[in-house]
Copies of this chain bind each other. A is one copy, B any other.
Amino acid sequence: MPGNSFGNIFKITSWGESHGPAIGVVVEGCPHGMKLSVSDLQKELDRRRPGQSAISTQRAEDDKAEILSGVFEGKTTGMPISIIIKNKDADSSRYEKMKSLFRPGHADFAYQEKYGIRDYRGGGRSSGRETAARAAPGAIAKVLLAKSGIKIYAFAMRIGTVTADKINLDEIENNAVRCADKNAAKGMEKEILKAKEASDSIGGVVEIIVKGCPAGLGDPVFDKLDADLAKALVSIGAVKGIEFGSGFSSVNMNGSENNDEISSKGFLSNNSGGILGGISTGQDIVMRIAVKPTASIAKEQKTVDINNKNAKITVEGRHDPCIVPRIIPVAEAMVSLVIADKLLMQRCVRDD
């Protein structure tokens, strides 16, 4: 309840600050006897890792995960899986001068108000670095889901002014921005570099698709599948909105257009995004999240210091001019965690 756990049966508890000795996560509820190795985790951590290309931060973390418990002779034992990722390239010196300044668009002010104390180095716990402790358990959830034929895809639907048009899910990992449209990808990269040169940043929209999800997942009336997905995704820093299926554009339609009619061969459309009444229908689950422009920019901005005196700030440090490409594996991780939890929950209530 203090906010560092997520999930009920497949449950994670996360810890760690950006510039502390390490970050980590404890994963509970993973079924026993499942094959799992550290390379399963590393694959996803590498996708999220900084320094992958010219368009991302140059902080050089190798993000090597270690598994400290819960796996024995290559298999899960049903015991909690403790994962630790050491912080290596934590350069706190450049944060020294920002110790008493609140960075606009960041959590600095809010943390100070709430806790009265904060580890200001690199944003402390509010740093994007925290998401490595989401990617790792997400990787475990993915292994579990793969056994049930469930696969999660996420890609840049829009970055800056460029929108994907011809969607091909096989293209996602072929370009630095993780766009499912290879032509759009080029334009997106350009916009990111342009923003970087201007000491500024841009945002985007990520679409996430779950394929192979069985009907029946979700626990109305409050723990609906879409409600829990919304929480999971909005809990990621920089995410400012979410929509399912036709989402905000459903407002442009009449009920007769927006309703998905049904035939003996299945649904005739998917405006619902694969969820009705908070329960999966067996169609693809489709959602989109709005990712705001990165708050850290090298441009000078107005702010106040810890004594509420007016000041100017230029956020140095190593930042991503657009966080969309690196938020994608994190979004996949969060969706995987929700689906895994609902899948296990569903096993409890079925008639035996």
The contact of A231 among B32, B231, B304, by CB within 8 Å, is B231
A246 x B256 contact (CB < 8 A): no
The contact of A33 among B17, B217, B223, B351, by CB within 8 Å, is B351
A77 x B231 contact (CB < 8 A): no
Binds B, one of A49-57, A111-119, A172-180: A111-119
**A267-303: which have CB < 8 Å to B?**
268, 271-273, 275-282, 290-297, 299, 301-303
Q: Which B-chain residue is minimally distant from A282 (CB atoms)?
A: B113
**A104 shortest CB reach to chain B, Å:** 4
**A77-136: which have CB < 8 Å to B?**
77-82, 84, 102, 104-107, 109-111, 113-119, 124-126, 130
**A168 shortest CB reach to chain B, Å:** 22
B222 x A5 contact (CB < 8 A): yes
Total copies of the chain: 4
Q: How many residues of A contact B (CB 8 A)?
A: 149
With contacts A1-B8, A241-B242 taken as known, whether A106 is within 8 angstroms of B277 at the C-beta atoms is yes
A22 within 8 A of B: yes
A193 within 8 A of B: no
A26 x B26 contact (CB < 8 A): yes
Interface residues of A (CB under 8 A from B): 1-6, 8-9, 11, 13-17, 20-24, 26, 28-29, 31-34, 66, 68-70, 72, 75, 77-82, 84, 102, 104-107, 109-111, 113-119, 124-126, 130, 158, 160, 195, 198, 200-205, 215-224, 226-235, 237, 240-248, 250-251, 253-264, 268, 271-273, 275-282, 290-297, 299, 301-304, 308-310, 344-352
